[in-house]
């Protein structure tokens, strides 16, 4: 029933997106794509609509906002500054749906993707660009964005190892793990939960890398876990249990167990045995 409801919500938002696309002049959107929850089929009644407009040259924000007003957009709010990939975004209400509209030049998008493929970046925020583009659905197609998207079909050689090595490095610091233990013993929940959330996010990043899949937004993990062939058993249930336990020390213990189970999935050919062994030993000493 939930999947059917989500499909209806996605369909409604897709129709709104198509309507906006048809009203967009070429200079404000040579090609237009849907990203976010609508493109992935996860949208519900609370979801907004993310639309990205690709252009040869970025026009002033005043002209973009004027166009939004001309098509009936209300409650218009600008991000105020470009985000990490250089795109510029505006939020507005269109016929009762909130829309996040982003503008980016082709050259900026291609540069961002090429940097990822060349392993220049491996942070979560950067890799989200690849995931967002790969799952995007086209509203207006001139063939350029299709060619850029094809680059994401092959997971780059060496990215898996680089992500994992950077992600597990904080766990090699024994003192950092001891701090978690102290927080649990004091039942100091806010910093402990914050730390465990970071640990869980590291686990998820490792699993995406092991499966050679582009990382998705944290808010969609419940859906994306189903597509991961390599993962610890009961992954989503265990994460929920860790964050929902009344006993802080037991919660941390289960978090350590999930870290260990994830580390065991890292293959020998990645040549990370020494680092993985150090982390496992640090955790073992805290469990004595």
Q: Where do the structural domains in the chain lie, given as residue ranges? A: 2-153, 159-287
Statement: residue 68 has pLDDT above 50 = yes
In this model, does residue 114 exceed pLDDT 80? yes
Alpha-carbon distances, residue 280 vs 34, 261, 266 (angstroms): 42, 10, 13
Asked if residue 46 lies in contact with residue 27, where contact means CB atoms within 8 angstroms, the answer is no
61, 52 Cβ separation under 8 angstroms: no
User: In Å, what is the CA distance from 208 to each residue of 57, 159, 270, 277, 285?
Assistant: 34, 11, 15, 21, 28
Say if residues 121 and 113 touch (Cβ distance below 8 Å). no
Average pLDDT over residues 2-29: 87
Angle at 40 between CA 217 and CA 21, to 5 degrees: 110
pLDDT at 4 over 70: no
Q: Average pLDDT for residues 112-122, to the nearest whole number?
A: 95
* CA-angle at 191, arms to 129 and 258, nearest 5°: 65
Please answer whether residues 165 and 275 qualify as being in contact, where contact means their C-beta atoms are separated by less than 8 angstroms: yes
Rounded Cα distance between 267 and 230, Å, is 11
Ranked by mean pLDDT, which of 67-71, 153-157, 216-220 comes out on top? Answer: 67-71
On whether the CB atoms of residues 78 and 95 are closer than 8 A, the answer is: no
Is the confidence at residue 35, as pLDDT, over 90?
A: yes
Cβ pair 169, 128 in contact under 8 A: no
| pLDDT tens readout for residues 255-276 | 999 999 999 999 988 888 899 9
Residue 287's pLDDT is what? 79
Q: What is the mean pLDDT of residues 87-98?
A: 97
pLDDT tens digits, one per residue of 273-286: 899 999 999 999 88
The residues that bridge with 32 in the sheet, in sequence order, are 53, 140
Query: How much is the pLDDT for 221?
Result: 83
Q: Say what the pLDDT of residue 288 is.
A: 59
Confidence of residue 18 (pLDDT cuts 50, 70, 90): very high
**pLDDT interval class at 6 (50, 70, 90):** low
Q: Which two tokens stand for residue 246?
A: 């009344």
Alpha-carbon distance values, 217 to 126, 138, 225 (Å): 11, 20, 12
Phi, psi for 50 (deg, rounded to 5):
-105, 120
Non-local (6+) Cβ contacts of 37 within 8 A are: 10, 43, 44, 47, 50, 220
Q: Judge whether 163 and 53 are in contact, CB under 8 Å.
A: no
pLDDT tens digits, 228-261 = 999 999 999 999 999 999 999 999 999 999 999 9
What does CATH list as the number for 2-153? 3.30.460.10
pLDDT averaged over every residue in the chain = 94
Q: How far apart are CA 238 and CA 210, in angstroms?
A: 19
C-alpha span between 283 and 279 (Å, rounded):
6
Beta bridge partners of 51: 34, 101
**Angle at alpha carbon of residue 210, lines to 207 and 216, rounded to 5°:** 50
């Amino acid at each position: 029933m939930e999947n059917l409801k989500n499909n209806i919500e996605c369909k409604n938002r897709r129709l709104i997106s198509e309507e906006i696309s048809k009203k967009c002049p070429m200079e404000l959107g040579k090609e237009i794509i849907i990203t976010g929850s609508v493109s992935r089929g996860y949208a519900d009644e609370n979801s907004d609509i993310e639309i990205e407009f690709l252009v040869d040259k970025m026009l002033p924000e005043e002209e973009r906002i004027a166009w939004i007003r001309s098509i009936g957009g209300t409650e218009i709010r600008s991000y105020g500054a470009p985000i990490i990939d250089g795109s510029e975004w505006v939020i507005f209400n269109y016929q009762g749906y909130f829309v996040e509209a982003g503008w980016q030049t082709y050259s900026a998008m291609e540069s961002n993707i090429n940097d990822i493929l060349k392993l220049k970046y491996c942070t979560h925020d950067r890799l989200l660009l690849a995931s967002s583009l790969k799952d995007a659905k086209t509203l207006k197609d001139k063939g350029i964005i299709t060619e850029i998207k094809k680059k994401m079909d092959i997971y780059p050689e060496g990215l898996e190892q680089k992500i994992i090595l950077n992600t597990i490095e904080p766990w090699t610091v024994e003192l950092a793990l001891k701090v978690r233990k102290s927080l649990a013993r004091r039942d100091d929940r806010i910093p402990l939960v914050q730390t465990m959330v970071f640990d869980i996010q590291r686990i998820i990043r490792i699993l995406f890398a092991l499966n050679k899949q582009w990382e998705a937004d944290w808010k969609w993990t419940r859906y994306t876990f189903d597509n991961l062939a390599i993962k610890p058993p009961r992954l989503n249930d265990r994460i929920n249990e860790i964050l929902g336990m009344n006993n802080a020390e037991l919660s941390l213990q289960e978090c350590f167990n999930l870290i260990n189970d994830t580390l065991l999935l890292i293959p020998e050919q990645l040549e990370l045995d020494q680092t993985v062994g150090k982390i496992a030993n640090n955790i073992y000493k805290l469990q004595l």
